[in-house]
Chains A and B, each alone.
Chain A
């Protein structure tokens, strides 16, 4: 069975600062994908960033980047120059290659303070 753990239920940071959200996971597979999804108050699930396990290079999307530590099974999300629009729930998720099951963590509620 695969599991995803997010140990920070809530975080807050001042606008323009950098914040890092933690995620650890467990899977017996060697080929898998990791995702960070953002869920604003509108409830829509929005993909923030994706990492393929076979790629050593950490994924980056504008202000969002990940620190993927495969041996440690850690997948943290760094948000640089945080903006008010980044206020949302953030979910870490894992799926094995070719598997439909997307396993989610319990989420981190991030608040950006003006």
Chain B
């Protein structure tokens, strides 16, 4: 198993550009999430999905869109990049079948810089 994969690893955007961060998992996990990590603030939840076709907002959803058309993929779209979106982005997944563990598996992260 590759686990949770993210592409790209690094990206530089100009203000106003749009892009999609890709996330895929091969563990057949139902739950997937996107977090951003900023210096001194830990990780914060952007959006999450509890299954194909179902998404919901997290703590900091503004400026981001998500969709979940398959169990494996959970892309994060930046509609119009802003310097405040400069951050490291992590995708995570977990298996709802393992009742009581709640363990999330994280991808390697994408470092995004918006100039």
Contact = CB atoms under 8 A, between A and B. Distances in A.
Contacts of A107: 42
Nearest to A47: B103
Nearest to B38: A106
B40 A106 contact: yes
B101 A50 contact: yes
A56 interface: no
B48 interface: yes
A111 interface: no
Contacts of B103: 35, 47, 50
Contacts of B43: 45, 91, 93, 102, 104
Nearest to A54: B100
B45 A106 contact: no
Given A100-B33, A100-B50, A101-B59, A106 B41 contact: yes
Contacts of B42: 4, 91, 104-107
Interface stretch (B20-28, B63-71, B74-82, B104-112): B104-112
A100 to B, nearest CB: 4
A30 interface: no
Interface of A: 4, 33, 35, 42-45, 47, 50, 52, 91, 93, 95, 97, 100-102, 104-107
16 contacts: A42-B108, A43-B109, A45-B43, A45-B92, A45-B106, A47-B103, A50-B103, A91-B43, A95-B102, A100-B33, A100-B56, A101-B45, A101-B48, A102-B43, A104-B43, A106-B41
Interface of B: 31, 33, 35, 40-45, 48, 50, 56, 58-59, 88, 90, 92, 100-104, 106, 108-109, 111
